Structure 1
């Protein structure tokens, strides 16, 4: 149909044909350039692949030799700086200890592949030698070709830094790595004129090179003494400060060249086929262009229809043909929607507006009668913003023939959104967009009213975030709000559209799962929620993480009202938190009883603090070597009026959760310090600190107050700290510990060895000592691995100048092992059980009397 007046034509068919011809020719050039570029890129990549392969193999060779040297160097440092090695090999060579005891003997050949092990005197004379695992008397200078005195001089220079020296010499014409270190009693010893040297010789035999070849894919690896600058790659020249250079050579695969020979002919064949196809497509495009030019000349007319009226209206006007394809849009369309008019002309109206096309025909048939009503519809305006509209239409006819449709569109988005905002605010949480308590109650009651049974249960999950408060304290409430929104997204991602996720306030959330048919499915949902929430969240460049505890209740088995279900879910949530957090628990009726018992125990504890029902027991701590009493650990006990004497694990956690731990800790510190004043002037007392105390800002002031009130010297008070303190807030914990150290007290890491990062803490935090966890001590009677672990911990502690204490000693064998391993202090049932203050004073008096008697007898 024709609804618009004609306008002047603006172009000719010849113009479009010329443009198409140029464009298609340019396309041919582009395709040709692409294939040429692809061929050149293939050649470059293949050559670069070979070059990279050579470079990678050279890196592997360097890493292989460095790894072998590091392994041998570590072993050499362990043996050379070992006090026992100095003890048995300095003045006189103890062959029985060294070779027959296999301390510096054949195991170095079998374990590390060391062809030669020598102990050289200050003048480089051979005092002890093992060649190929057998004890011999061949001097090192006869067996090795190289400047040995220069190597020993470098070893002396590096000994101050706990380092070793190495050089490349030769043995029977075969390159060898010779490593040397000073054999000294400790790292403070600096008089090297009378010290001997421990020397390891690793000959680079064909067998050893073959092992490196197979491990690092270095085909036909060979080692040659000397620098070979003219040798072809791949190669690696090894050079130390002392000795001659050694050149490693091996074969390269030239994989890139093989690929080039395979794929370059294929690329050429594909290029020929594409050239034929492009020529055929160009002919088809030129033919289609002629047809488009002819159609375009027929369609290029100018229209001006109802322009003044349409622009004066607040709505925009549209026209379509009989198939509802747009033929006209007023200028107001562009102003109101932000969409270009040319983009939509010729396209169906229902693509622009989402509406029922059958209603348009019905509405148009009614004409201008009062029965005609606007059609509700939606559209995506500029920037994909959704707009809500009302569509009015009428048919355009010529006699009985339908020419098309005309009408207007009115934008009612603001009205719709205002109603939606009011409805959303009344049903949702403003921060996270989740359902609020009102909608949650309505949802639960609706599901309960539908009737539930074993085949159609509903699971209600109560969630509470773990470690959320430290984020608010450290980064502010804006960061806390960001975390809550991230948690809301996580909950939505783990649930289905039929479920409901609600926020009750703070960091409390509820999930109503309607599609879980069994407890196993509910468990799976809980685990997914825990895993998803545990994912780290980035705040201002810092990664933080929270956890969650979940209480689960099932309707109709656990309750049939929303109030009961929410209450029971809270009880199960508390059980989950009490069990260690970051886990879930299903509600059980017995949980109610435990809640009541806990509340009663909390009341009893408050009374106990006022009535002085707590007491301190003291477990003595001794020097491991001579069993001299050095102090005691204070252990709190509760003398409950009805339950008897309670150990700490039955009430400490409750004290931490209720905040009573602060008052209890103050009493323990003051009581422990007062008792320590009666033990003499040197014995120390050890007090355990709770991680909760580090979350407050008054810990340093409280410790200072306890010292001031009691008058105890600060160096006699030791505070034991567990690794959980550093895990919760490492930066704040470091500040607090430095302030405690400024008071003069000692800091000790308790239960060392059970945390995943305790080693890094020892370097960062100002600890004076460590206590080896009892789980390692219990295995000393029968486990070599436990002995090795304890030995490593003691050695590391001594290297860091820390006092090492072993706890949980229960047998004489365990004490003997610890004495052999040079552990500093020990405590446990074998040495003394925890006892009350008065009996412990008698133990102190007896110990002091025995010490006086020994001193008198010694004179």
Structure 2
């Protein structure tokens, strides 16, 4: 067998030529880098100067806008001030304006206003201040500019609470002239009768110097008109009115300064590097002969591990003594998606995150290698973080460390599964917020760290208002969407140092550790309520919920998580009881009230079983004939220890606890049974709670009472307050139409106290209205009250509604109502609420109606 020998000299010559070529290429690269660096330096310096000019232009615009906003805010405060309209409108009160300093010298000292003028509707000066002193100089004589156009613009913008401004000349200097009409409120539109308030801010050298110092605009000057030939930096402001204003200042030109300093240094450095490269060329040539040996060693190493790496489920790596990778098995690419060639020669620490010092100690002979792998992590080709266990062993040649070899076992799935379990155990599945378990852990940890007056912790308990109707009408999917949007709002309003948790349903907790005072906690609550009140889009509907918040603070109110959560819940109940959509701080007295409430709730539950409630009936009369046409059923509670309780004491509690439904069913049933004894023509009126309209079974319950008692539906009237329509107008309209389909009557109670009752009368199927007693109280004493009642009666008749006046206490009031053709009347003068049997007696005495029977009723 013939074997061809390889000539080592030829190999050496080949590597020498390669080395020479490589060194020349290296020199060319270095030269290109230095040239590129020099050009880049020039470009960056010039770009720095350009950017500085643009930045200074933005600062100049910001400075002028800040000054304009300050003057405009002051002008709006004074011009749209009711006192200014009263004392500076049609009549001029100089003592109020100047002597009492309402529109006087303080405008010059506080806002640096050089001129303040009040102009009449015709534009003539009625009042003037120059430099804070009274003056007889007219505004149009002092100000050089189109002042009438400015006033017209101010009059036009007043509809939207806006002011007008322009740049004019004052004594040869540029000035900002702002104007607004003086009016009492935004509804006033008779502008021809209104005066104008004009502010003049002359841009003096002193003011420009102040702006210069505040915004670092060296040599800032202002001049009227455009300056196209002026050097930069400059800024030209072009308003709709008046002249243009040009601002000019000096630029520092930092880029050119840096260029002159660093470019010579870069050239000197280039010469030094060239000398160093020449020296390195010799070193590179001597090192070229070692390449063959290294390549041969690499082939042997690869052959040694190839079989093992292909058979293993983990991927194998090999590195030199500096932990630079020299080998990666094919399994590495399969697991990570990364190319092996891209990582060979690079440090293992760039590929994996691990403790490099700990790796060396583990890899020593007799170390922990193979028994306790090191934890490590990396990012695969898709950028996904993967976790593994790194095993390593040292490769020795005698006592010399040649490198390392080892394996990496991928445990990403196990780590992610553990993380998911941990996250699920501490977070709410719907919103992603912390759950009760994580909240308790967080509170205990925070309390164990210690809280004090300097480092308090505020706990906010939130409960959503108007959330249940969304679930009932739009479904639970819509409710879930609302909860997620609320969770996002809470997270957006709080810092990362705080914790936001959902306890379940529509209950949330915010643990605020960055609030130092009660005032800061109040501002946080205001932000939360404002954000939660924003409309939420669900399909084609915009829904809105509110939030009530109870606040407790550690260490002031408690030092345990259990106490803080309990007290926050008590404060939350107080907030909901006081009207909702507000916040309340916990007070010890709240605990006493909640205990009383719970006792009253238990008593009420027993009262329904023991039949402690009773009905009284207040007669309703025909206003003209003064004959009884029916009665209003009024529920009372004969409490065994507290005596007779009025509805105002227990009805709100019944609404909150849900007992209102059972109580209302009893009232409806008893009222209809009593009405059966009055005669076939008399009607009975029953008040409905707004809470009942939030339930879907109201119509069925009323229908069941009609069927059980056998009363004619036309004899039953349900009184409804306007708050029913305010809660959910569309749902309320549907329910009321279904009630009307039963044949009963609907009446709006307390008419006139709401802000939109007139629109409701046209849109909803009411049969009658009851004029609120507040209008009747002054009927016989005030012409305005009589006019209001007359308007309500006329409007009700125009809409074919029966008008009933309640709260009649004098014969004069009754006479007035009769003259105004009011249909029905009710009040203490005509008859107080009375027991059922006494009402039957009144019927016999008043109308001559003989009751059809006598029933025994609860409470008598």
- For normalisation by structure 2, the TM-score amounts to 0.56
CA offsets 1:812-843 (integer angstroms, 9 cap, x no match):
67667767877665433344433334444555
SS at match of 1:835: coil
Q: Which residue of 2 aligns with 1:547?
A: 547
Q: What are the residue-to-residue correspondences of 1:165-564 with 2, within 5 Å?
A: 262=228, 309=305, 312=310, 313-316=312-315, 332-338=331-337, 350=349, 352-363=351-362, 370=369, 373-381=372-380, 384-393=383-392, 408-424=407-423, 430-431=429-430, 465-485=464-484, 505-507=504-506, 520=518, 524=522, 527=525, 531=529, 534-536=532-534, 538=536, 540-541=538-539, 542-545=542-545, 547-548=547-548, 550=550, 562=562
**Contact 1:548 1:581 survives alignment (8 Å):** yes
Classify 1:832/1:334 alpha carbon distance in 2 versus 1 (closer, same or farther; 3 Å). Answer: farther
SS at match of 2:632: strand
Classify 1:580/1:341 alpha carbon distance in 2 versus 1 (closer, same or farther; 3 Å). Answer: farther
Q: Which residue of 2 aligns with 1:722?
A: 721
Distance in 2, matches of 1:434 and 1:210, equals 52
Q: Which residue of 2 aligns with 1:600?
A: 603
Classify 1:370/1:746 alpha carbon distance in 2 versus 1 (closer, same or farther; 3 Å). Answer: closer
Q: Which residue of 1 aligns with 2:616?
A: 616
Distance in 2, matches of 1:781 and 1:396, equals 111
1:679: how far off?
5.4
SS at match of 1:414: helix
Classify 1:657/1:370 alpha carbon distance in 2 versus 1 (closer, same or farther; 3 Å). Answer: closer
1:722: how far off?
2.2
1:619: how far off?
4.1
**Contact 2:324 2:347 survives alignment (8 Å):** yes
CA offsets 1:277-314 (integer angstroms, 9 cap, x no match):
99xx99x99xx99x99x99x999x99987667476244
**Contact 2:467 2:479 survives alignment (8 Å):** yes
SS at match of 2:665: helix
Structure 2 residues without counterparts, runs of 5 or longer = 1-14, 43-89, 91-147, 167-223, 235-249, 850-860
1:689: how far off?
1.1
Classify 1:528/1:700 alpha carbon distance in 2 versus 1 (closer, same or farther; 3 Å). Answer: same
Does residue 1:588 correspond to 2:591, yes or no? yes
Distance in 1, matches of 2:565 and 2:638, equals 37
SS at match of 1:359: helix
Distance in 2, matches of 1:460 and 1:430, equals 22
Does residue 1:649 correspond to 2:652, yes or no? no
Q: Which residue of 1 aligns with 2:733?
A: 734
Does residue 1:768 correspond to 2:767, yes or no? yes
Distance in 2, matches of 1:664 and 1:748, equals 21
1:758: how far off?
4.5
1:635: how far off?
1.5
Q: What are the residue-to-residue correspondences of 1:789-800 with 2, within 5 Å?
A: none
Classify 1:12/1:593 alpha carbon distance in 2 versus 1 (closer, same or farther; 3 Å). Answer: same
**Contact 1:615 1:637 survives alignment (8 Å):** yes
Q: What are the residue-to-residue correspondences of 1:779-798 with 2, within 5 Å?
A: none
**Contact 1:459 1:522 survives alignment (8 Å):** no
**Contact 2:550 2:574 survives alignment (8 Å):** no
Distance in 2, matches of 1:532 and 1:209, equals 37
CA offsets 1:91-132 (integer angstroms, 9 cap, x no match):
xxxxxxxxxxxxxxxxxxx9xxxxxxxxxxxxxxxxxxxxxx
Distance in 2, matches of 1:794 and 1:414, equals 77
Q: What is the RMSD computed on CA atoms of the aligned residues?
A: 7.3
1:664: how far off?
3.2
1:618: how far off?
1.7
SS at match of 1:588: helix
Count residues with an aligned counterpart. 674
CA offsets 1:40-79 (integer angstroms, 9 cap, x no match):
xxxxxxxxxxxxxxxxxxxxxxxxxxxxxxxxxxxxxxxx
Distance in 1, matches of 2:441 and 2:770, equals 56
SS at match of 2:529: helix
Does residue 1:632 correspond to 2:631, yes or no? yes
1:600: how far off?
2.5
Does residue 1:698 correspond to 2:701, yes or no? no
**Contact 1:533 1:546 survives alignment (8 Å):** no
Classify 1:671/1:594 alpha carbon distance in 2 versus 1 (closer, same or farther; 3 Å). Answer: closer
1:360: how far off?
3.8
**Contact 2:503 2:509 survives alignment (8 Å):** yes
- For normalisation by structure 1, the TM-score amounts to 0.56
SS at match of 1:701: helix
**Contact 1:572 1:591 survives alignment (8 Å):** no
**Contact 1:530 1:548 survives alignment (8 Å):** no
CA offsets 1:643-693 (integer angstroms, 9 cap, x no match):
433222223234334544334323433443454456566554321112233
1:607: how far off?
1.1
Classify 1:443/1:589 alpha carbon distance in 2 versus 1 (closer, same or farther; 3 Å). Answer: farther
Classify 1:707/1:214 alpha carbon distance in 2 versus 1 (closer, same or farther; 3 Å). Answer: closer
CA offsets 1:744-766 (integer angstroms, 9 cap, x no match):
32222223454565455444432
CA offsets 1:149-175 (integer angstroms, 9 cap, x no match):
xxxxxxxxxxxxxxxxxxxxxxxxxxx
**Contact 1:571 1:595 survives alignment (8 Å):** no
Classify 1:773/1:388 alpha carbon distance in 2 versus 1 (closer, same or farther; 3 Å). Answer: farther
Q: Which residue of 2 aligns with 1:87?
A: none
Distance in 2, matches of 1:762 and 1:347, equals 82
**Contact 1:602 1:654 survives alignment (8 Å):** no
SS at match of 1:634: strand
SS at match of 2:634: strand
CA offsets 1:770-804 (integer angstroms, 9 cap, x no match):
33444455566788887787677667656655445
Classify 1:336/1:211 alpha carbon distance in 2 versus 1 (closer, same or farther; 3 Å). Answer: closer
Distance in 2, matches of 1:494 and 1:561, equals 23
**Contact 1:466 1:549 survives alignment (8 Å):** no
1:738: how far off?
0.9
Does residue 1:747 correspond to 2:714, yes or no? no
**Contact 1:533 1:548 survives alignment (8 Å):** no
Distance in 1, matches of 2:149 and 2:453, equals 74
**Contact 1:551 1:571 survives alignment (8 Å):** no
Distance in 1, matches of 2:30 and 2:760, equals 76
